[in-house]
Amino acid sequence: MTQHAQTGRTITLALGLSLGLTVSAGSTLAEEIPAPIAALEDEGLTVHGTFDAPSGLTGYATSMQGRELSVYLTSDGEHAIIGNMVDADGNNLSTEPLERLVSGPQNALDWQALEESAWIADGDDEAQRTVYTFTDPNCPFCSQFWQSARPWIDAGDVQLRHVMVGILQRDSPRMAISMLAADNPSQALNAHESGDPIEPLESLSREWEMELQKNHDLMKSFGLYATPSILYMEDGKLLSSQGAPAPDKLEEIMGSPAP
């Protein structure tokens, strides 16, 4: 179990193929930032990097409000085109640079934030696959997910990491902290989910209260508001699922059919 949290961001959103808005700006800003790009930054766009593009254009990998956007600067530096570039065969030329410069690094930061949160391990530390789930002690669907995951956990294939939150009932925060602060958090969690509810601590340390709040902030930073909220990596992409997953979704989350 680790006990530190950092804020993350929402999961990557896919864009449809489109060519869109043209932006012009004639004012002179910082020399290293072309005026149209600076104008977009003033509107809230974040530039993550540049990449080579055909026809004398310069590509910019950007994002706004969690959405990835490709921007193409004309060779004269006077105009910027927002949208995906498609070649004669219909291939989206914006996908690779956006994944490399925006979603890939962001996924790594989000995964690190999960690793540094306050979580309780369920399963083998040497398991090949790790799945994070935001868990409330009073959540029946969290218990359902815990039970459904037993074949993969018992086989040593997956480790679930329960990022504890207390959002459903009045005593949820106290129960969540009591699990995190237990002498054996994993044992306390498994006993609770097996039908032997944990006895809440009478006194809670300020340190653990702060750790729980960090977990709440992290959950919100992903745009997640229900439990269980499950996060996992697939082909380098951070994916999420909310609620107790259906059997086919469960296999996707766990990375294989049930052992």
pLDDT at 54: 93
C-alpha closest to that of 119 among 250, 237, 2, 254: 2
Q: Which of 93-97, 155-159, 189-193, 239-243 has the lowest mean pLDDT?
A: 93-97
Write down the architecture of domain 117-254 according to CATH: 3-Layer(aba) Sandwich (3.40)
pLDDT at 67: 86
SS3 content of the chain, % helix, strand, coil (to 5): 35, 25, 40
The mean pLDDT of 137-163, rounded to a whole number, is 97
Give the mean model confidence (pLDDT) for residues 121-141. Answer: 97
Residue whose pair of structure tokens reads 């002498």 in the numeric block: 183
pLDDT at position 175: 96
The C-alpha atoms of residue 237 and residue 242 are separated, in whole angstroms, by 17
Q: Who has greater pLDDT, 197 or 227?
A: 227
Q: What's the CATH number for 19-103?
A: 3.10.450.70
Tokens of 127: 């398991």
| 179 burial type by CB count under 10 A (0-12 exposed, 13-18 middle, 19+ buried) | buried
Distance, CA of 120 to chain centre: 18
Residue spans in the chain of domains classed CATH 3.10.450.70: 19-103
Residue 171, Cβ neighbours under 10 Å: how many? 13
Q: What is the location of CATH 3.40.30.10 in the chain? A: 117-254
pTM of the predicted model, to two decimals?
A: 0.74
- Residue 125 burial by Cβ neighbours in a 10 Å radius (0-12, 13-18, 19+): exposed
What's the mean pLDDT when you consider all of the chain?
87
Q: Give me the percent of the chain exceeding a pLDDT of 70.
A: 88
Q: Determine the Cα–Cα distance for residues 31 and 185; give it in Å rounded to an integer.
A: 55
pLDDT band at 66 (very low <50, low <70, confident <90, very high): confident
